[in-house]
Copies of this chain bind each other. A is one copy, B any other.
């Protein structure tokens, strides 16, 4: 894929004198580990969105907040842009480095500072891995709910920056709903606290504003998350359907029945077969779609909900409903889903993972429209998604070595995201905008709304030094991209007229 670097943003900044910058960094921060040789920079060329690559000018690996503060002061004085990076697992290129900037790697801030079982909170450094929080909380019967697929590797700082989700978001919310407080450094290195240890904080809700801001507003140095008691019991049902539309309706029916499952996931036939081939989860490979529905909570409740969901699924036309017989089978059912992306990746030389959200009611129609677009662009699309909250992950299969396929894949991806916007949804559910979806932001928002984003950005970072070129497109870019603003279906979307 092309690196669509936003030169207008970067262009506004003066060129950086690397030698002079290195010299001042070594002088004022003699203990700071710096990488600047080409071979050392290679591993930092991209994040989880490997199609976009840039070699950073230099990589800083601080160990202490004071080092980060001084680094920020130096960069601020010299107008050097700074991109923060955690574990580098992001899927939208949010941590893509800059050729003319410093990549600030926060991975060494990896300490769990305090678990407070009475308050049910964990205070951790930003480089702590998502799963490590739950592991540390486990002795108290607690866990941290948001569970992105990358939870073994991804770090909480990146989770906050991208407002990460996971299969349990439907019931337990996104990262923003599971945070109490974030300590940040401003672009000038000032220490600021957003949120508090209590329920609510007065003034503007800067904690929520900051969450998902993708490194544009400040550098995270500490995170206090909420912990939840581990559910007594979790059961999972697997339902097979002979059409994706029926599975889509079943999702709506479950929610309409007043049940909030711990997870409610859908996979279509292509994804089912890929996952089964890879993981041997025991999925029915001839089903057009499967739903995985997890019920968790206290025991009596879970049994009751399982019966109710089974009845709803059968009424919705499921050809088969199976309950995982034991914990091993439950884990296997989920392993198929959690490995669906790499599994689909094995079907094709390249794949492009999209991330959009739609209102649940639009699910069957959007699935139909995606199938039509797939035929039109002559590219296979596997659908894997958090069906319960309408967060779709269409995976577009292509071969970058076939002339034109990459461009078609990008164009198809863009169309799918615009389709999401047209039905009242959005261009990202949990992966963020980053570099990847910067153009689609022009479809999601009108110029007044984008102007407001820029004004908010300027309130935190008037010089535009923090992660420039990500998340919020310039008005100039949108004009050039020529996107129709299709906000909330106010403009007709031709693909939608087909059904």
Chain B positions within 8 Å of A424 at CB level: 196-198
- Which of A22-30, A48-56, A442-450 binds B? A442-450
If the complex has contacts A301-B301, A361-B116, are A205 and B199 also in contact, measured as CB distance less than 8 A?
no
- Which of A237-245, A322-330, A406-414, A452-460 binds B? A452-460
Shortest distance between the CB of A229 and any CB in chain B (Å)? 3
A428 contacts partner chain B, Cβ-Cβ < 8 Å? yes
A339 contacts partner chain B, Cβ-Cβ < 8 Å? no
A390 and B199 form a contact (CB under 8 A): yes
A297 to B217 alpha-carbon distance, docked (Å): 40
- Which of A252-260, A373-381, A397-405, A476-484 binds B? A252-260
A206 contacts partner chain B, Cβ-Cβ < 8 Å? yes
How does the 8 Å CB contact mask read for A451-495 relative to B, with 1 for contact and 0 for none? Answer: 011011111100000000001100000000000000110000000
How does the 8 Å CB contact mask read for A171-184 relative to B, with 1 for contact and 0 for none? Answer: 00110110000000
A471 to B165 alpha-carbon distance, docked (Å): 32
Chain B positions within 8 Å of A211 at CB level: 205
A456 and B204 form a contact (CB under 8 A): yes
How does the 8 Å CB contact mask read for A292-319 relative to B, with 1 for contact and 0 for none? Answer: 0000011011001100000000000000
How does the 8 Å CB contact mask read for A186-217 relative to B, with 1 for contact and 0 for none? Answer: 10001111001111111111101101110011
- Residue ranges of A at the interface with B (Cβ–Cβ < 8 Å): 116-120, 141, 163, 165, 169, 173-174, 176-177, 186, 190-193, 196-206, 208-209, 211-213, 216-217, 229-230, 252, 255-256, 258, 297-298, 300-301, 304-305, 357-361, 389-391, 420, 424-430, 432-433, 437, 441, 444-445, 448-449, 452-453, 455-460, 471-472, 487-488
A428 and B202 form a contact (CB under 8 A): yes
A457 to B205 alpha-carbon distance, docked (Å): 12
A488 and B205 form a contact (CB under 8 A): no
Specify which of B200, B359, B472, B487 is in contact with A203 (CB 8 Å cutoff). B472
A201 and B426 form a contact (CB under 8 A): yes
Can you list 15 A-B contacts with CB-CB less than 8 angstroms, sorted by A residue number?
A118-B252, A118-B361, A173-B177, A176-B208, A197-B359, A198-B424, A199-B391, A200-B430, A202-B428, A203-B472, A204-B212, A208-B209, A209-B456, A297-B301, A455-B460
If the complex has contacts A176-B205, A448-B192, are A200 and B459 also in contact, measured as CB distance less than 8 A?
no
B193 and A488 form a contact (CB under 8 A): yes
Chain B positions within 8 Å of A255 at CB level: 118, 120
Q: A455's closest neighbor in chain B, by CB?
A: B459
Shortest distance between the CB of A300 and any CB in chain B (Å)? 4
Chain B positions within 8 Å of A441 at CB level: 202-203
A199 to B426 alpha-carbon distance, docked (Å): 8
A174 and B197 form a contact (CB under 8 A): no
B206 and A452 form a contact (CB under 8 A): yes
Q: Which of A177, A199, A437, A456 has the most CB of B within 10 A?
A: A199
Q: A194's closest neighbor in chain B, by CB?
A: B449
A429 to B191 alpha-carbon distance, docked (Å): 24
A119 and B360 form a contact (CB under 8 A): yes
A119 to B357 alpha-carbon distance, docked (Å): 13
A453 to B192 alpha-carbon distance, docked (Å): 12
A204 and B209 form a contact (CB under 8 A): yes
A202 to B243 alpha-carbon distance, docked (Å): 31
A455 to B201 alpha-carbon distance, docked (Å): 18
Shortest distance between the CB of A91 and any CB in chain B (Å)? 13
Specify which of B199, B300, B305, B458 is in contact with A357 (CB 8 Å cutoff). B199
Chain B positions within 8 Å of A196 at CB level: 357, 424-426, 488
Chain B positions within 8 Å of A200 at CB level: 163, 165, 174, 212, 357, 391, 426, 428-430
Chain B positions within 8 Å of A297 at CB level: 301
B202 and A213 form a contact (CB under 8 A): no
A229 to B254 alpha-carbon distance, docked (Å): 12
A202 and B390 form a contact (CB under 8 A): no
Specify which of B116, B449, B460 is in contact with A193 (CB 8 Å cutoff). B449
Q: Which of A120, A169, A198, A217 has the most CB of B within 10 A?
A: A198
A198 and B358 form a contact (CB under 8 A): yes
Shortest distance between the CB of A67 and any CB in chain B (Å)? 20
Q: A301's closest neighbor in chain B, by CB?
A: B301
